Structure 1
Amino acid sequence: MTHPGWGDKWADAPVFPLAGSPSQNTQTDRNSGEGAKVLPLRKPRSPGPDDPDGPAAGRLATVTRARPAPPAPAPWKKPPLPKPAFWTRRRRRNLKVAALSLVALLVLLAVLVAWVALDALRARDSLEQAARGVSTLQTDAVAGRTEQLDSTVTELQRHAADAKDATGGPHWSLAGRLPGVGPTVEAVATMATVVDGLARGPLPQLAEVVEVADPATFAPHGGRVDLRPLEGVAPDVVRADQSVAYALQRVEGINRSPVLPQVSAAVSDLEQQLADLRMSTATAARAARLIPPMLGADGPRDYLVLVQNNAEPRALGGIVGTVLVLHADRGRIELTEQMPASQVGPFKQPPAELTEDEQAVFGDKVGRWMQNVTSTPDFPRAAEIARAMWARETGQTVDGVLAVDPAALAEVLKTDGPVAVGSGERLLGEDLVSYLVNGIYLTETPDGADLIFADVAESAFASLSSGSGEPSGMVDALAVAARQGRLLVWSADRAEADLLEGTVLDGGLRGVNGSRPVVGVFTHGLQMAKIGYYLDTAVDVVERGVRSDGARELDVTVTYTSRVDESDAAGLPDYIVGRGESDPGLIRLRSIVYAPAGGAVVQASENSEKIGISPQKHDELQRVFDDIELHPGETASVTYAIISGKHQDGDVILRTTPGPRPVEVSIRK
């Protein structure tokens, strides 16, 4: 059914889809993103005869739906405006300023680095000169060239001040904060500060001390040493040593890995110079603290002196032949007692209780016979045992113990000239040593030999106390004897013993010194004879490698050679070859080796053939031994493969038994 006036008007009108419609039989998809997409509609049914709308109603075939229009923008949101021209100009100007600032900063850094580099070169040159000055000062001080010390100190101060000035500006401090440059700058500055501090502080005092401590100053006059000069400078010497020790510690603490090679080399050079100087200052400080009290500045002292005979080897040198007693009071030294060591004991029980290790290694002989106290390579322990023996024998408790041998006595007597011995023959140096440990037994009875031996020892100490010899020569003689292990000193005072510990006078048994492994090679004669005079000893140490834990791998070869002439052996006296020996001229000895602390002897071979070893323990150190027989003219070599303890990567220290002649020593890497 149509409305009047409408149905006929629109019945034959075409139906147009909306814009974008692909066909007349589609309907717009409201969810599409492409404009007005038309979706298909259900096919219109055909009107029946009874349809009220009639046939014309079916002509409306499609219904279109338009996509909603996007919402209009809020009235308060405005589109961005274009930036004005002045904004672009400002940005360009800022970029230009930043670039110029960066260039200026780089130029400034370049100038700073160049300035620091020039000062570094200046400081390096001054430090090198100062380091040479330290070395010269140390050498002159030890040599006693006191007249040159003032000028050396003045030059040292000038170079040190110049190095300090070159590294003291604000630019230097600023450069120290730069990455890559800082460690080098800091290293140079530290060296300059250290050297300048020494030059203005302890070194001038040390020069004054050396002048006061000149050997001539301490030469005895009328049997007495004037202790007042040394007592007066003792505090300055101790302070100087402390300052040098602190300076050495600071230089050792410089990290050299990120430092320029030239500066690193300068650090190493200065460290070596300071280490050498420290050896001198430490020795001087010990002497200043030890000599006055030990020579009776604080009260009388008595010392037992063990005179060893190297012709019958023991670990510390030789069997004790004679014992002396020295009395010291306010610098005056007197010989108050002497007797053959054979008259002290033997004791049924050791006067000093022996440790389990000592009993296992040495038996009780080391504690019952005075002649055998030097069987232990630990001199402080030998001194304690000898002191106890002397107290048991005489009732006198001494304040300390010394040990010397004929070679040490001969060195002291060199400054007096030839010494009359025996029938009046006058001997000097090696000839005197040869006579005392061998020739005397060819012409004298054992009792007569003991008397002559004691007379020579008395003459040596009389020469020391009277000051009849040349002072510097006397000091040199004592130094040589100490370095060879022929002069050893022990004090019963604990503080003095601590000062002696670690020095060449100490003779203590230890397996490590700092990071340095200590190897002990000792000889013990197995005969009651003086055949040891004919024994030569050589020790060769070869480093095979260093393990990752710092342990050292060492080969220690000990070579013994007999100097006995086979044609003369049968004619040697029994006192030399040994009573009842079936093979005259045969040398029987025990080769003893101590491994470093924490280390071990892992293998041994004699004359290139492997031999068995039975390790023993002595004061926490491992030791092994090999018994050797040498016929006249023969040579025997024993090689010990040794591994040291961990973290012992320093240079090897070798201790040996001093014989009638110096031991030939070689240490190779």
Structure 2
Amino acid sequence: MSDAPAPRPRAHRRAWIWWSAAALVLLLVLAGVWIAVRALLAKGELEAAVPVAERVQASLLAGDAAAASADAADLADRTASAASLTGDPIWRAAEVLPWLGPNLRTMRVLAASVDDAARDAIQPLAAEVDALGPAVFAPEGGALDLAPLEAAREPVAAAAASVAHAREAVDAVAGHDVIGPLAEARERVAGLLGQADDGLDALDRALRLVPPMLGEAGPRNILVLVQNPAELRSTGGIPGSLLVIRTEGGAFELAGQASASEVGRFDPPVGELDTESRALWGENPTRYLHDVAFLPDFAKGAAIAREMWAGHTGVAVDSVVAVDPVVLALVLEATGPVAMPGGEELTADNAVRVLLQDVYARYPDPAAQDAYFAAAAQAVVARLAAGGVDPQKLLTALVRAGEERRIFVWNTDPAEQDVIAGTGIAGGLPGGPTGGGTGGDASTAAFGVYLNDLTGSKMDTYLHVEIASGTRVCRGDGLARSEVQVTLENTAPADAATSLPEYVTGGGAFGVPAGEISTSVHVYGEPGAYNLGVLAASTGEPVGYHPTSDAGYTLSKIVVQLAPGERASYRFGFLAGAPGVVETAVQATPTGGTIGRGTLALACDSPYGEE
């Protein structure tokens, strides 16, 4: 029998534990090295991908098929590599670690999102750039070829959905606390995806809306209201000139025109306004086509205008579109000058001045003025139909007109109207389901500033407007106080009463002395907001105002009357109906000029003061 000592199990167990711990540490070190190396490689790929994505975007806009395809392939290779480097099981397992996890998760989401966008959106669009370039929106020979637009619908819709999904994924990690360089990369990628998402969304809507409106399924009639901001109305200006454009199979032609004065008064009224609208605007919007634009919700006024046109002409229209002289000027940048009666040329540089000022000096007779406006609109339509239009400039003009709320569209077909719901061209109330603005973002308080002439004149050419807004949370319940400051200035010459034509000044016919400008200012807060009143910005003293509501919106109304050279500024206060508001967005009546925009820095220790 052997005298050897028995083995000691505890010693073996300790050795096994130490070896296991050492192996685990080694594995963790190797995993850390693995993640670090792959992170550096992925970072390099993402950094290299961003400028490539910017080049692709520029190539797509320019319609450069060769450059777009080459850059799209390069982008796809880089994003695929970045996604592969950040998508393995070791990387994902490490995402649960404190501090390190949010950084890894953010990098993986960035890589995967740009890869999805590159593969499912950018590459397919680059392959179709010839069919999707700006030229497809340029008419030739009085028609727009609808076939390329119809063929592009599905690929563009798929690309738009892919980019929107990628944007949502990046937005989901926007709040992660990550290191500085990664935060900068996240911001840059979010910006690129945001631009791409907005652009593709607009293109997708255009491809679904333009062919039907151009008679894809049969003849269409479009009533065009040319709004004149020399006499302001909520949606832009008094609809003085009216056109009917007939479309079919992509072809379009001017089929009729008239002035709002010719349409005349309707008795009994056309349609019926709800109680709030009638209290705000009276019955004039249902009696005079001139006044349908008092209603700040374009769809309401457009539906009434359609019925008035049908009552006057017997022609039922399928769509109503509103534009103003600034839109005509923007379009002239794409078409080039057009000839007017008498040999004058209307150009992008002189159109606004001629249509808002010179016409009244040359033609005292309102009928002659209306005839000139009609001739201008007819000339622009004819020039568009003739072809040879710069497509890039035309698209740029239409985009800018939409951004400045100078073009609105309403369709009788609900499905077509749904295409533009939530966009600026729907002309809805601020932040609402048809109005655009904030798109329902609860962190943004949406306001509307609507201006209407009470002078009965064309003096608003001389009305300069500035708008500033701000918000701040000072209350324990988290409700934000927001303010909108509206500044108006009469820039007419001191001797306007005698130097300007009576048709421009109004001649005191409505109780406003010649040369002065009287304006009603309606500021709409968002639904659920509390009205805090109106103060004179210069003194902080309360001013008389009319608090009321419209379609669920809280609003304040004041009337401002200014002599030449006078300037007045007012602050409209509102308290949010729910916590979470951190910024403001304001949509406003477009004028014949540029509205000055600014930001108010509010102070908590002074309810209406600034820091």
Structure 2 residue aligned with 1:598: 528
- C-alpha separation in 2, matches of 1:254 and 1:499: 30
Letter of the 1:574 counterpart: E
Matched to 1:481, the amino acid is A
8 Å contact from structure 2 (residues 335, 384) kept in 1: no
**Which residue does 1:510 correspond to in 2?**
430
What CA distance in whole angstroms lies between the structure 2 residues aligned with 1:226 and 1:92?
Answer: 87
Question: Among residues 606, 615, 620, which one is paired with 2:547 in the alignment?
Answer: 615
Distance across 2 between alignment mates of 1:650 and 1:229: 43
Describe how 1:226-237 pairs up with structure 2 within 5 A: 226-237=145-156
Q: AA paired with 1:451? A: A
1:389-408 deviation per Cα after TM superposition (whole angstroms, max 9, x unaligned) = 11222222211100011111
| Equivalent position amino acid for 1:490 in 2 | W
Q: Deviations over 1:122-170 (max 9, x none)?
A: 1122123334433433343334444421122012111112112212444
1:183-582 equivalences under 5 Å are: 183-254=102-173, 256-257=175-176, 259-421=178-340, 423-444=342-363, 445-511=365-431, 512-515=438-441, 516-545=444-473, 551-581=479-509
Distance (Å, rounded) in 2 between the aligned partners of 1:176 and 1:572 = 72
Q: C-alpha displacement at 1:432, in angstroms?
A: 2.2
The alignment partner of 1:328 has SS state of strand
Contact 2:95 2:102 in 1 (8 A): yes
With over 3 angstroms needed to count, the CA separation of the structure-2 counterparts of 1:544 and 1:399, relative to structure 1, is same
Deviations along 1:262-306, whole A, 9 cap, x unmatched?
444433432232122110111111111111111111111111100
- Which whole-Å deviations, capped at 9, do the CAs of 1:35-84 have from their partners, x for residues lacking one? xxxxxxxxxxxxxxxxxxxxxxxxxxxxxxxxxxxxxxxxxxxxxxxxx9
CA distance in 1, matches of 2:599, 2:44: 35
Against the structure 1 CA distance between its residues 176 and 413, is the aligned structure 2 distance closer, same or farther, given a 3 Å change threshold?
closer
Mean Cα displacement is larger for which, 153-162 or 538-547? 538-547
Cα deviation code 1:184-241 (max 9, x no counterpart)? 3333333323322222222211223443122223321110111101111211111111
User: What amino acid sits opposite 1:381 in the alignment?
Assistant: K
Partners of 2:221 and 2:315 in 1: CA distance: 9
**Counterpart Cα distance in 2 of 1:662 and 1:420:** 27
Partner Cα distance (2:22, 2:271) in 1: 83
SS across alignment from 1:336: strand
**Secondary structure in 2 matching 1:477:** helix
SS in structure 2 opposite 1:553?
strand
With normalisation by structure 1, the TM-score equals 0.83
CA contact (8 A) 1:415 1:469 kept: yes
Pick aligned residue for 1:632 from 564, 572, 580: 564
Q: Does 1:113 align with 2:32?
A: yes
How many angstroms does 1:450 deviate by? 0.8
Deviation at 1:468, TM superposition (A): 3.7
CA distance in structure 2 between the partners assigned to 1:133 and 1:380 by the alignment: 42
Q: What letter matches 2:257 in structure 1? A: Q
SS of equivalent to 1:615: strand
Determine helix, strand or coil for the equivalent of 1:543: strand
* Cα distance, 1:470 vs structure 2: 2.1
Decide whether the 8 Å contact of 1:488 with 1:507 is kept in 2.
yes
- Cα distance in 1 between the residues matched to 2:341 and 2:12: 109
Q: 1:650 to 1:230 in 2, by over 3 A?
A: farther
What is the 5 A alignment of 1:39-50? none
Cross-structure match for 2:607: none
Change (3 A) 1:104 1:624: same
Q: 1:372 to 1:114 in 2, by over 3 A?
A: same
Report if the CA contact (8 A) 2:338-2:383 is conserved.
Answer: no
Q: Which has the larger radius of gyration?
A: 1
Alignment of 1:642-653 (within 5 A): 642-647=574-579, 649=581, 651-653=583-585
Q: Within 2, Cα distance between the matches of 1:388 and 1:208?
A: 46
Q: Residue 254 of structure 1: CA displacement?
A: 3.0
1:423, distance to aligned residue in structure 2 (A): 4.1
Question: Do 1:544 and 1:555's aligned partners in 2 also have CA atoms closer than 8 Å?
Answer: no
SS state at 2:546 partner: coil
Displacement, 1:341? Answer: 0.7
Instruction: Give the whole-Å Cα distance in 2 for the aligned partners of 1:645 and 1:587.
Output: 35
Of the structure 1 ranges 480-489 and 618-627, higher mean CA displacement relative to structure 2 is found in 480-489
Residue 6 of structure 2: aligned partner: 86
Conserved 8 A contact 1:351-1:392? no
Identify the range of structure 1 (559-568 vs 408-417) with the bigger mean alpha-carbon deviation.
Answer: 408-417
Q: 1:139 to 1:507 in 2, by over 3 A?
A: farther
Answer with 97-106 or 206-215: which moved more. 206-215
1:383 Cα deviation after fit: 0.9
Deviations 1:608-661 (A, max 9, x none): 232133211111001111111111111111111233343553643221111111
Q: What is the alpha-carbon distance in structure 2 between the residues aligned to residue 326 and residue 548 of structure 1?
A: 57
TM-score (norm 2): 0.90
Q: Once structures 1 and 2 are overlaid, which stretch shifts more, 127-136 or 523-532?
A: 127-136
CA-CA distance at 1:600 after TM superposition: 3.3
How far apart are the structure 2 equivalents of 1:176 and 1:630? 64
Instruction: Tell me if structure 2 keeps the 8 A contact 1:352–1:389.
Output: no
Instruction: Check conservation: 1:304, 1:325, Cα contact below 8 A.
Output: yes
Change (3 A) 1:297 1:571: same
The answer to which of 635-644 and 108-117 deviates more is 635-644
Cα distance, 1:176 vs. partner?
4.0
**Residue identity opposite 1:664 in structure 2:** G
The 5-angstrom pairing of residues 27-176 of structure 1 reads 86=6, 89-176=8-95
Query: Structure 1: which 5+ runs fail to align?
Result: 1-83
Determine the C-alpha separation between the residues in 1 that align with 2:158 and 2:314.
41
Alignment pair present for 1:585 and 2:492 = no
Counterpart amino acid of residue 264 in structure 2: G
CA distance in 2, matches of 1:611, 1:255: 43
**CA–CA distance in structure 2, aligned partners of residues 206 and 435 of structure 1:** 42
Cα shift at 1:180: 5.2
**Amino acid in structure 2 at the alignment position of 1:595:** G
With 419-428 and 100-109 compared, the bigger mean Cα shift is at 419-428
Alpha-carbon distance change, 210 to 638 in structure 1, aligned in 2, over 3 angstroms:
farther
Does the 8 A contact of 1:318 with 1:374 survive in 2?
A: yes
The structure with higher relative contact order (CA 8 Å, sep 6+) is: 2
* Structure 2 residues not aligned, in runs of 5+: 432-437, 602-611
Counterpart for residue 590 of structure 2: 658
Give 1:474's aligned amino acid: L
2:371 maps to a residue whose letter is L
1:430-480: CA deviations, max 9, x gaps?
Answer: 422122122211121211111011100111111222224322222222222
Query: Partners of 1:611 and 1:355 in 2: how far apart?
Result: 28
The residue identity in structure 2 corresponding to 1:539 is I
CA contact (8 A) 1:345 1:389 kept: no
1:269 and 1:566 mapped to 2: Cα distance?
51
Rate the CA distance shift 1:320–1:252 in 2: closer, same or farther, 3 A: same
Q: How far apart are the structure 1 equivalents of 2:276 and 2:185?
A: 49
Give the aligned CA root-mean-square deviation in angstroms.
Answer: 2.3
Structure 1 residues 574-607: Cα deviation after superposition (integer angstroms, max 9, x where no partner): 2111144573211111111111232233131224
Distance 1:503 1:364 in 2: 28
SS for the counterpart of 1:473 is helix
